[in-house]
Amino acid sequence: MVKKITSIVILAIAIVLVAFAIANAMYKKEKPESTEQAADFTLEALDGTKISLSDFKGQKVVLNFWATWCPPCKAEMPHLQNFHENNENSDVKLLAVNLTASDSVSNAVDFVDAYELTFPVLLDVDGEVGQLYEVITIPTTYFIDEDGNIVEKFIGALDEETMENIIDSY
């Protein structure tokens, strides 16, 4: 009996160690998956200022696309606001692009007031940026790294915890 246990222990540990040795020898750490550069754009924010994505080089950017008529967008807004407040003093920037081409400025203003949003809300009046980022289902959220690469494209409502997890992963 003891002999048998011993042999199984050795077998199991051997599987792990041999495989690990092979791994170390064979695969040199691949570069992180091929990344795509986030296209730059300039849009006017609700408060009238012009904001470009390239203004935030060196910072992680969370780029959220939404509209006032979309229920999951409504659901995630309190989470976005919390996320924004928690990251105000760090190198993470939240930008929310309103798909104004299929929405309206006055709706967006009311919405931002109702949810007391303090992060920049950009108005995609011509729908060009939405098209550029291939936003079909909303909400869609892009996570962009310090060098402007797209790290993750998340479709669907995001909660605070998931956002923090994705931001921490790169």
Partner 1 sequence: MTYFQLFGISIPALWIAVLGTAFLISLKIDDWFGNALFIYVLVWKFSYVLFYWESILGLLYFNGGIKGHWLGLVSSAIYIILLAPKKYPSIKVQAGIVLLLYMYTFETIFNLLQRDFLFTIIQGGIACLILSLRKKLKLQWVILFFMIELLTLSLQHTLTLTKFFTFSMFIFISILFTIKERTNG
| Spatial separation of the C-alpha atoms in residues 63 and 145, rounded to whole Å | 11
HSE, side-chain direction, 13 A CA sphere, residue 88: 7
* Strand duo 42-45 + 36-37: pairing: unpaired
Smallest distance from the beta carbon of 144 to partner 1, in angstroms? 16
Q: Which is nearer to partner 1, 2 or 106 (CB)?
A: 2
Nearest to 86 by CA among 94, 76, 75, 97: 94
- Our finding on whether 48 is near partner 1 (CB under 8 A) is no
- Our finding on whether 145 is near partner 1 (CB under 8 A) is no
| Spatial separation of the C-alpha atoms in residues 110 and 74, rounded to whole Å | 13
Q: Which is nearer to partner 1, 34 or 89 (CB)?
A: 34
Smallest distance from the beta carbon of 52 to partner 1, in angstroms? 27
Site map for partner 1, 67-96, x if CB under 8 A?
A: ----xx-xxx-xx-----------------
Q: Checking phi first, is residue 85 left (phi over 0); if not, alpha (psi -120 to 50) or beta?
A: alpha
The correct pick among 10, 19, 39, 132 for binding partner 1 (CB under 8 A) is: 19
Angle at which helix 160-168 crosses helix 71-86, to 10 degrees, equals 60
Q: Which is nearer to partner 1, 75 or 105 (CB)?
A: 75
* Strand duo 60-66 + 50-52: pairing: unpaired
Residues 101-140 binding partner 1 (CB under 8 A) are 136-137
The window from 38-46, 99-107, 126-134, 159-167 that contacts partner 1 (CB under 8 A) reads 159-167
HSE, side-chain direction, 13 A CA sphere, residue 84: 17
Q: For binding to partner 1 (CB under 8 A), which residues are involved?
A: 5, 8-9, 11-13, 15-16, 19-20, 22-23, 27, 33, 71-72, 74-76, 78-79, 136-137, 152-157, 159, 161-162, 166, 169
